[in-house]
Amino acid sequence: MSTFLPETILNWLPDAIQLFYLVATGFFIRGVKLLNSPGTARKGNQFAAIGMLIGVLVTLFDQDIVEFELIVGGIVIGGLIGLLLAKKVQMTAMPELVAVFNGFGGAASALVAWGELARNPDILSFDTTGLVSIGLSVFIGALTFTGSFIAFGKLSGFISGNAITFPGLNVINIGAMIATLGLIGYFAYDPSNPTLFWVILGISLLIGVTSVIPIGGADMPVVISLLNSYSGIAAAMAGFVLQNNLLIVSGALVGAAGLILTNIMCKAMNRSLLNVIFGSFGAAAGGPGASGNGDKTVRETSAEDLAIQVAYASKVVIVPGYGLAVAQAQHIVKEVATKLESRGVQVKYGIHPVAGRMPGHMNVLLAEADVPYDLLKDMDEINPEFATTDVVLIIGANDVVNPLAKTDPTGPIYGMPILNVDEAKRTIVFKRSLSVGYAGIDNPLFYAEKNQMFFGDAKKSLQALNEALNEV
């Protein structure tokens, strides 16, 4: 406990600290609750940030800390890095940034466990619970660290988005996980050999690589959500190591929220978590139209023709995908929508849960362009409306609108709930080419009679449409 405070304050300080921890926990819970809606998500982040500030300040009085210079230095350096990232990182790179944050969260938990072990030279002074907590914190934190950076590499493109695997890799991964848990148990039983700690760390780092590298790019939204959960669980384990109630609660909240979101993402893909981890798609897939359009023909449209179609429509639904993010076309989409609304056209946005490269990617992207939250409709809300929609503008989306999910039992996405855009009177697909999506299969929607293709960069195509609307 800090010794520079008067004795009277020191007497009631432990109870006051726990009270403030309870207050911080309340802010965390309220923040998580507000995150369930795009309209309140920003306020939720603010509540959580206040809770974290309270937790950090109070913890400084809960530990025997003498080197405040290092703490202040860390705050300054970390704050500057955070400010730089907030200003410089594009919205299109947000999935990669989230992956990095998950990785650093896992690394921090592992370092806390190692630090606690290092500052107590008598390792035999730890009880069994403490040693198990240290082992689990290192195990989960280390694999989260390396796994997150593999995910970062796949999202950034310097590691192939395809599933990189070989026969027996899943068996090796499962065996390595079981072996690591066994080593943690033995470490807790007989901690006299410190080399065992480093063996656990090394295997955990390797598991992070080998468990994420075989997962294809199409599954990255689920992987990011799962790794986020791992980082929370690792933090909770670090809380047990430090015997810090706030860290335990906050880590458990992040872990639980991540698992719930992971489950939602899996349901949106009609797949189990085990299937995502051990049976991912994203490599060269087979099935009908896997890699080409054969002798099929498409119907193309122009900016002028499309402007007439949407200007005289009653209802237009915009379906964004990762192509919208790559083209950074969210602002021009908002301009087009505003012009249509000024003409009395009803405009809504259909958001699939796994559109983009992380959970909520499209919501964040469109929120940046000041698209009203009430116009962002999730899959269950918008699907019943497609039958009464005149035109659907599909901008950079592919697998989430692929009818093969409903018609091809042999395909990798069969059974995945999709946006039923094929029920609309007309669909327009903005795309650079007829290339396949991350699932590696062709999309028969491209060749449907009710569909027209608008080839080119999404941003330039939308700019052309925006200009053409001035002439209608």
User: Which residues are part of the catalytic machinery?
Assistant: 399
Bridge partner residues of 347 (DSSP) = 316
Token pair recorded at residue 208: 């992070």
Going 399 to 422 to 271 to 273, the CA torsion angle's sign is positive
Q: How far apart are the first and last CA of the chain?
A: 73
For residue 197, give the 3-state DSSP assignment: helix
Positions of E strands within 39-179: none
Amino acid identity of 270?
N
Diameter of the chain measured on Cα atoms: 86
Cα(134)–Cα(142) distance, rounded to whole angstroms? 12
- CA-closest candidate to residue 153, choices 99, 229, 223, 204: 99
Residue 378 CB partners (closer than 8 Å, separation 6+) = 351, 353
Contact predicate 176/207, CB 8 Å? yes
The residues, any chain, with a CB within 8 Å of residue 285's CB and separated by 6 or more, are 411, 412, 439, 440, 441
